[in-house]
Amino acid sequence: MKRKFTQILGLALIPLLLLALPRTSSAVTVGFKFFGGYNSMNGGDINEGLKGFVDLYKLEATLGGATTHGDYKAFHGGLEAGGDLIIYFTPIVGIGFGASYLQAQSSSEIGFTHPLFSATMKVKPQVTSTPIRAGLYFAVPMGSFVNLTLNAGAEYYLAKIKYSVRFDSTGSWDQTETDVDSKGKIGFCGGIGLEIKVHPNLSILLEGRGRYARLDGFEGKETDTSSSWVPSTEDGKLWYVKINLGPLGQYPILGLDENPPPPDPMFQDARSARLDINGFSALAGIMLRF
């Protein structure tokens, strides 16, 4: 993540140097937009499946005579950074191309206490995505120094999911790490904000941006390590399925396998796991116009 932020900041130096160059008047202007902030996302099947796994394990522990404390904490957002190149064909209307890097993560710890043992479970999911977009951009004058900005377009999304589940008990531990990548998917985005001029070619940006995107087709690997056995790795696709335990309820979980769960009354609603990136971003940055 640090490397991606460094690359974005490095690119920002190029248009800054252009401020010192002489310019001639032209109907077409070019804008370089750089921003960062906080993004929120739903998570979809990933949050639901990890919570279901924790709840199922807590149920089994309770039925075995243990007491539990703690719960799964869903990831719902994190940092975002990106930039856009905008070509304005009029002072108000332009087309633009850009990219962002956004991430979300969480960490949960669940404790188990039994007369014969005690243990902890730690669940740590992390999601990263790199949307590449194209769209229409508008800068509507609201006075001499302020523009109302609007944008809307399509984004091409790629995403990576990594999560680990670790169990620690007296004298032993075991851990499962899952690392999968999505197929590319098209989503949509739109934003509204303010462009506040502090120089003829430099403005400060404040923007809110929404997006709609759901990704599936995740494939990758799962690695099991332990204090008691040799590490093993399995390749496959990431699936979502609900475990039906009748009067004890239904528990959605995630699983990695080459094939979906077989038809069985115990396994319901099996499908390729979906990551829901629908959400909102609060951003601030700069705009350089030439």
Taking only the tens place, the pLDDT of each residue in 173-212 is 999 999 999 999 999 999 999 999 999 999 999 999 999 9
Q: 211 forms bridges with which residues in the sheet?
A: 189, 279
Tell me which H or E stretch contains 119: strand 117-129
- Given this model, what pLDDT does residue 6 score? 45
Domain count, the chain: 1
Asked if residue 249 belongs to a domain, the reply is: no
- For residue 177, being part of any structural domain is answered with yes
Answer whether residue 246 is part of any domain: no
pLDDT in tens, 211-237: 999 999 999 999 999 999 899 999 999
In a domain, 170, yes or no: yes
Q: Is the dihedral angle over the CA atoms 66, 70, 74, 80 positive or is it negative? A: negative
Q: Is residue 258 part of a domain?
A: no
Contact by Cβ (8 Å): 77, 279:
yes
Q: Is residue 263 part of a domain?
A: no
Contact predicate 161/46, CB 8 Å = yes
Q: Which of 28, 131, 130 is nearest to 86 (CA)?
A: 28
pLDDT of residue 171: 85
Expressed in percent and rounded to 5, the helix, strand and coil fractions of the chain are 15, 60, 25
CATH number at residue 113: 2.40.160
Q: Domain of residue 224: give its range.
A: 34-235+279-289
List, run by run, the mean pLDDT of 10-residue segments along the chain (290 residues).
Answer: 44 42 64 97 97 97 96 97 97 96 97 93 97 97 95 97 96 96 95 96 97 96 95 97 95 95 89 96 96
Tokens encoding 53: 């796994």
> Is 229 within the bounds of a domain?
yes
Distance, in Å, from the CA atom of 160 to the CA atom of 187, rounded to the nearest integer, reads 16
- In this structure, which amino acid lies at residue 25? S
Instruction: Give this prediction's pTM.
Output: 0.87
Q: Is residue 273 part of a domain?
A: no
